[in-house]
Structure 1
Amino acid sequence: MNRDVVVTGIGVLAPNGNGTEEFWSSVRKGQSGIGELDRFDASTAPSRLAGQIRDFDALEHIPKRLLPQTDVSTRYALAAAAAALQDSEMDLVALPDYEAGVITSSALGGFEFTHREFRKLWTEGPQSVSVYESFAWFYAVNTGQISIRHGLRGPGRVLVSEQAGGLDALGAARSTVLEGTSLVVSGGVDSALDPWGWASHIAGGRISRATDPHRAYLPFDSAADGYVPGEGGAILILEDAAAARQRGKSPYGILAGHAATFDPRPGSGRPPGLRRAAELALRDAGLAPQDIDVVFADASGVPEWDAAEASALRELFGSGAVPVTAPKALTGRLYAGGGPLDVVAALLALRDSVIPPTAHTTDVPEAYGIDLVRGEPRHQELRAALVLARGKGGFNSAVVVCAADPTG
């Protein structure tokens, strides 16, 4: 028997909006969260623009006792998870034990926390290092802290596949629900905007050197020269459609398919794996390319990566055959948080029958052969969306989301 896995709750913390509807309003209006990095003095850095979350007070979301043991990224994850659970209207107490799990992704870990403790180690000695350093830096800490905070004792996992990880986490959560777990809290959140984190971003070699926030991150533009890093992401609640319907909860949509691939060895002559990931995700969803109404692109802003993604889309769908958009141009790339945030945007696009535009991009090379939505939102009926993500080192991930049947 076919079963649908649906999204019943969403929690968002993004540079252009804290909260689902605030974020979505900003995306539709083209309001950017990219600006001058001010967490520390970055005036001598070769790149100084970032997508920063502002107006976030951790004490409004988590107990004071958790502050000494959590990195900023974990505080974001806890806040987003709590918002998503509240949005889902699920009574966790009513669930049998081990029936709710947590599967998240992190590409960066607790960067700011661990480097603060390293500084103590180097300048004050080991006696000054926090005991919480033993876990606050770890990639799995968000899964653990969310599980503990909400008493979720079911399956727990963490996916680490750089900027593809957030979609991989959602795919793993979907599989876990299909295997019988009632509810899974899933998604990704990242942050590394401290001095060491910023040095790592720059060392990756893909960061834009532009100084104008409106011309720094230009996905698929002929003037693209890299991307802008950001922080934040999204946490989603996934559960069985029949169970959601039984408790009277209307879902945002269906997480219908997922697939992940890995690029072949450089120099092998074999094509990148992004198109294959998209094809497999469509097959998993039981859809054909012509069933997809919009693509939420990975949109790296790195010319060779943009060209490769455009080629994959052109080969899969045909030249200009499907609208393409990249809301992340307003937030920067959020690493493990970027994919889940794009899934949120896709679900809301399906809900409201509108494709948000790709901000700032003005000149798409004709050779790309893609219909990039620019300027104004495009209003049309939408039933299915493809969301793509790639990570440095060869990771590719694709998710298909579909509109939920209002009749159940």
Structure 2
Amino acid sequence: MTTTHAPARPRPAADGARTAHAVVTGIGVTAPNGLGTAPWWEATTNGVSGIRPISRFDPARYPSRLAGEVPDFVAKEHLPGRLLPQTDHMTRLALVAADEAFADAGIDPKELPEYAAGVVTAASAGGFEFGQRELEALWSKGGQYVSAYQSFAWFYAVNTGQIAIRNGLRGPSGVLVSEQAGGLDAIAQARRQLRRGVRLLVTGGIDSALCPWGWTAHLAGGLLSTSDRPDRAYLPFSAEASGHVAGEGGALLILEDAAAARERGARVYGSVAGYASTFDPPVGKGAPRLADAARLALADAGLTAADVDVVFADAAGDRAADRAEAEAITALFGPRGVPVTAPKTMTGRLSSGGASLDVAAALLALRDQVVPPTVHVERTADDCPLDLVTGAARETALSTALVLARGRGGFNSAVVVRAQP
């Protein structure tokens, strides 16, 4: 069920495979500043942040105490009771996002031909909260009290599996594990499956590890901000940057072949026109390759940097990483050469869910001709000479967006999305 990380250079379709034009016809969102696509997008364009003190456990004894939690999510209001004992919070969010994406696309999955659709998601760790609960039962009561569902509820491929089972999707499926870059890599793998003749893919990423065990893992990375001020904790590209805030949620998309979408009269948000990924060399052995990923993605789309109207940045919130990304962007566009935004300052970094949420934001930005703001950042650092959209959303003509993402360990990915003509 798992797949490997994509190669650096885009490959042509296999012999005998038709070249499909991948379009997005449905979006489902669970985010810290909005449950559902419409509430999230309204909050995002208005600069409303979902970062606040952690409420799901007592964070007092931890050095970092802020997070982006999905608000007002009561699983039993959205899912049948039989699913609740066997699913982690992360998977419940994913199932709800998939339901919204199908409804948004105007598709009843039960009416699809048996092998016409599949699922490709991204994951970073799997069901941490479920696993913690079962470990507590093991330690305090004994092995006979550990749920049989632990055998799969923790697994990083569980969202793909549960979405496929719930919706009867028996086409090619998989999971990509490349941390923050995973949402883009999953979309790219879904696009490959369309080129092989699959009619429809559910794709993107939803993640959550906001429990004491998961929080320990976040802290171990050493990159979380220790500020207790939601408006100062996550400031990418700022001289005051001191780490990031972790969050949960993400976005799932319905990706279809353009011809099939047109045939059924579907509303189309835009196309996934280009993608590429690269991998950084070991520290001291060469330069980071984020700019290469962006160039290759543009080449895959048949475009140049001059065609890009907005960049959705990875926005690490770490001074060195921000500087490296700014250098990659300015190498392509020149200093302050293109509007850049990081709406994840309103959600925190969502692990495998962050990049697919940025793709959803890019598609809606193209639809509404508006660039959402990077909240809380007042001005960029001198070594990050970017045209960062801050303060309020910026209305401007948009037809092409570049989305960048970097995963821990050296993953770089880039996706180009275009509005429909």
Of 289-298 and 84-93, deviating more is 84-93
Give structure 2 stretches of 5+ with no counterpart.
1-17
Displacement of 1:2 = 5.8
Higher mean C-alpha deviation, range 276-285 or range 325-334:
276-285
Residue 108 (structure 1) shift: 2.0
Q: Work out whether 1:377 is the aligned partner of 2:393.
A: yes
Which residue of structure 2 lines up, in the alignment, with residue 386 of structure 1?
Answer: 402
Aligned to 1:234: 251
Instruction: Specify the alignment match of 2:212 in structure 1.
Output: 195
- Confirm whether residue 113 of structure 1 aligns to residue 114 of structure 2: no
Match of 1:33 among 47, 50, 58: 50
For residue 57 of structure 2, give the secondary structure of its aligned residue in structure 1. Answer: coil
Q: Is 1:304 paired with 2:320?
A: yes
- 2:71 maps to 54
Deviation readout 1:314-334 (Å, 9 max, x if unpaired): 111111111100000000000
- Decide which of 252, 258, 262 is 1:245's aligned counterpart: 262
How has the CA–CA distance of structure 1 residues 69 and 225 changed in structure 2, closer, same or farther, with 3 Å as cutoff?
same
With normalisation by structure 1, the TM-score equals 0.97
List aligned pairs for 1:13-92, cutoff 5 A: 13-92=30-109
- Tell me the distance in 2 between the aligned counterparts of 1:200 and 1:130: 23
**Alignment root-mean-square deviation, CA:** 1.0
Paired letter, 2:171: G
Q: Distance in 2 between matches of 1:367 and 1:129?
A: 52
Could you tell me how far apart the structure 1 residues matched to 2:111 and 2:44 are?
36
Return the match for 1:329 from 345, 349, 366.
345
Contact 2:274 2:417 in 1 (8 A): yes
Alignment map for 1:172-321 (pairs within 5 Å): 172-268=189-285, 270-321=286-337
Letter in 1 for 2:398: L
CA–CA separation in structure 2 for the residues paired with 1:107 and 1:128: 27
Structure 1 position 305, deviation (Å): 0.5
Aligned to 2:14: none
Out of 163-172 and 87-96, give the one that drifted further: 87-96
Structure 1: unaligned runs, 5 residues or longer: none
Q: CA deviation at 1:199?
A: 1.2
Equivalent pairs, count: 404
d(CA) in 1 for partners of 2:417 and 2:392? Answer: 23
Q: How far apart in 2 are the matches of 1:299 and 1:10?
A: 23
Structure-1 separation of matches of 2:173 and 2:260: 21
1:146 — aligned with what?
163
1:213-268 CA deviation, whole Å, 9 max, x = no partner?
A: 00000011110000000000111000011111111112011111111111101121
Task: Kindly state the Cα deviation for residue 343 of structure 1 after the two structures are TM-superposed.
Answer: 0.4
Give SS of 1:46's match: coil
Q: State the 1:147 CA deviation.
A: 0.3
Distance 1:152 1:228 in 2: 35
> Secondary structure, in 3 states, of the residue corresponding to 1:282?
helix
How far residue 385 of structure 1 moved from its aligned partner, in angstroms, is 0.2
Cα distance in structure 1, aligned partners of 2:196 and 2:338? 33
The separation in 1 between residues aligned to 2:354 and 2:414, in whole angstroms, is 13
Cα displacement (A) at 1:60: 2.1
Counterpart CA distance in 2 for 1:3 and 1:319 is: 36
Q: Residue 347 of structure 1: SS of its match in structure 2?
A: helix
**In 2, Cα distance between equivalents of 1:54 and 1:201:** 20
> Which residue in 2 is equivalent to 1:359?
375
Instruction: Find 1:7's aligned residue among 12, 24, 28.
Output: 24
